[in-house]
Amino acid sequence: MDRSTPRNDLILMVVFTAAVLTMPFWLAPIGAGYPDLLQKFAIFGIFAVGFNILFGLTGYLSFGHAAFLGVGSYTAVWSFKLLSMNILPAMILAIAIAGLFSLAIGYVSLRRTGIYFSILTLAFAQMSYNLAYSVLTPITNGETGLRVVRGDPHVIDRMFGMVEGESLPTPDLFGLRTIGWEGFYICAVALIVAFFIALRIFRSPFGLALRGIKSNQVRMSYTGFNTRPHTLAAFVISGMYAGLAGALLAITDPLAGAERMQWTASGEVVLMTILGGVGTLIGPILGAAIIKYFENIFSSFNEYTLEQTFSFLPDPLREGVVSVASLFVGEGWHLTLGLLFMLVVIFLPGGIMEGFRRLWRAITGRSAARRAEKLQPAE
Amino acid sequence: MENIVLHVDDVYKSFGGLHALSDIDLQIAEGKTHAIIGPNGAGKSTLLNVCIGRLKPDSGAVVFDGQILTGKKPYEINQLGVARVFQTPEIFPDLTVRENVIIPALAKRDGAFAVDAWRGMARENDLRDEAEAAVTDVGLEDKLGHEAGSLSRGDKRRLELAMCLVQKPRLLLLDEPTAGMSRLDTNRTIDLLKRIKARGMTKVIIEHDMHVVFSLADKVTVMAQGRIIAEGTPDEVRGDPVVQEAYLGGGHA
């Protein structure tokens, strides 16, 4: 139970860092070893880690976190336009503005719990989405999406003597490009930092208080905790994570659109967290990676690739297999994901991380010992 | 003169047409163990709920150590030094026994709201020692690492008691602390409560079990149908004909 010693956490952090930085190598065999996809793993990993600080620790299920992702993206693009193409101010501003935004939404939504809280957050996110398309067009540029165009002020860049050249300026980190492998490593470092902060929060007194709120809110208040500000702080922290993820999306592709705020995007992060394991540290990142992998790899399979894969089968059998399998790939990747999600929720309610834990116990033979402990007569 | 810690001043509370509490006036002296007894539905639990801010009285006030509790939030009342053991144990079922007790200790040390998100719990040796001492006090020391939800009912009650004791409250309210416990466990709890008394903690106990009441109480208040019908030392109350009638079901009929 209490395996979270500082030493184990250090090992976890080292292994995690190494695993993230070497992703291009060990993910290459399954066709995921290219920067655009790995970038998405990292960005949505950050989004899910932040979401899990709220959902995993306090149990409050927000259905509107994509709003903060969108706010982060818009803020980052505005920072490019007005201030500088450097991504550092863009990230800091995105985190700050998303934090303010989540403070306002959280303040109102956290007056309710359970399903009412979820509905309130969903309503706020959909409101933001629709506003971005209509009234707020001067800020969001509506359907076209917000992007860097010629003649943008770039105040800070100009102070340092930037001259607008032939091509549009691109985001950079003090000269380091944000596309390709450089882009991936920027996102990877952000993910590692985000993960480290989440780890500290999980292990802190604040994290323990949040878990207390999830377990029994009534007891928390009779124990002397004012639970509302605790949940609000968790909500804001997770909103800031979403803001950072949104900024990174804009950094790797300097275009912000309102569809990032849609409820499907909010639902996606819920799926990621549940698929990987609610309340676990690594789970949400796994979930994010799996969903992005399916979205990008499975959806790219077509009948031709299937024919190739099953070419060892005799003709009539192959056609049958291919026509069945083609339901699950290409456009049908949602079906595969849906099935996977159902299987996980039914058989592994703790997500993929629970699967790993069970596997680990089976290997180390602890399961027998634990079961004996549980079977002891309770007086 | 005795120092009055808790003063329930002329409290009324009704639910619809039912007078759950009428004209309740109660003074609890510091360091004493005060038992409230009475048949089911006498309003004992309602009275405790009014004291900890779970219910608001229709009129009257509850004063703790010079501060009016009426209208205060449960967490504020706890921070003033009032802890409560519930009739059905309110614990953190998903957390370990140790964590269950560390949380109240944390609330006592850091106050109602503190975002201490950076320091690791692993370095909070003082909190852990305090928690383990409280758990040992109630005799659960060999279950520190267990998930609280997996404990037996009796153990859950003891755990909840440890969660209150770790805060060293000035006033401890106990709602039937031994209900659902075996005789052996009941006697252990009585011993434990006697030990706490030696530390000068004031206690209000609601109890059905007369064995518990007469082994612990300095003073007994008897309630029936939302009113106080008798008050005195255990011996005085035992001999009171009004009390006997209430317990035999005479009532107002």
Q: For residue B188, with 0-12 CB atoms within 10 Å meaning exposed, 13-18 middle and 19 or more buried, which class applies? A: middle
Q: How far is B147 from chain A, CA to nearest CA, in Å? A: 8
Contact A142/A258 with Cβ under 8 angstroms? yes
What is the C-alpha separation between B145 and A26, in angstroms, rounded?
37
Query: Tens digits of per-residue pLDDT, B112-128?
Result: 888 888 888 888 889 99
Task: Give the Cα separation of A291 and A289 in Å (integer).
Answer: 6
CATH class assigned to A6-260: mainly alpha
Predicted confidence band of residue A159 (pLDDT cuts 50, 70, 90): confident
For chain B, the average pLDDT equals 88
CB-defined contacts A:B, below 8 A: 122
Q: Is the pLDDT of residue B143 over 60?
A: yes
Query: In sequence order, what E strands does chain A have?
Result: 146-147, 172-173, 176-177, 255-256
Helix axes A114-133, A263-276, angle to 10 degrees: 140
Does the pLDDT of residue A1 top 70, yes or no?
A: no
Q: At how many degrees (to 10) do helices B153-165 and B183-198 cross?
A: 0
Q: Does A206 touch chain B (CB under 8 A)?
A: yes
Separation between Cα atoms, residue B85 and residue B183, nearest integer Å: 19
Least confident of A251-255, A350-354, A364-368, B73-77: A364-368
* Positive or negative torsion for Cα B36, B37, B38, B42: positive
Q: Which positions in chain B touch A227 (Cβ < 8 Å)?
A: 75
The CA distance from A96 to A94, in Å, is: 5
ipTM over cut 0.95: no
Contacts of A214 in chain B (CB under 8 A): 94
Using a CB–CB cutoff of 8 Å, tell me whether A8 touches chain B. no
Nearest-Cα residue of chain A relative to residue B185 = A379
The domain limits of chain A are: 6-260
pTM of the predicted structure, to 2 decimals: 0.90
- Structure tokens of B87? 């009739």
Flag if A214 and B91 touch (Cβ within 8 Å). Answer: no
Selecting from A206, A208, A221 the residue whose C-beta is nearest the C-beta of B99 gives A208
Residues B1-81+171-253, CATH architecture: 3-Layer(aba) Sandwich (3.40)
pLDDT(A366) > 80: no
A223 to chain B nearest CA, in Å?
6
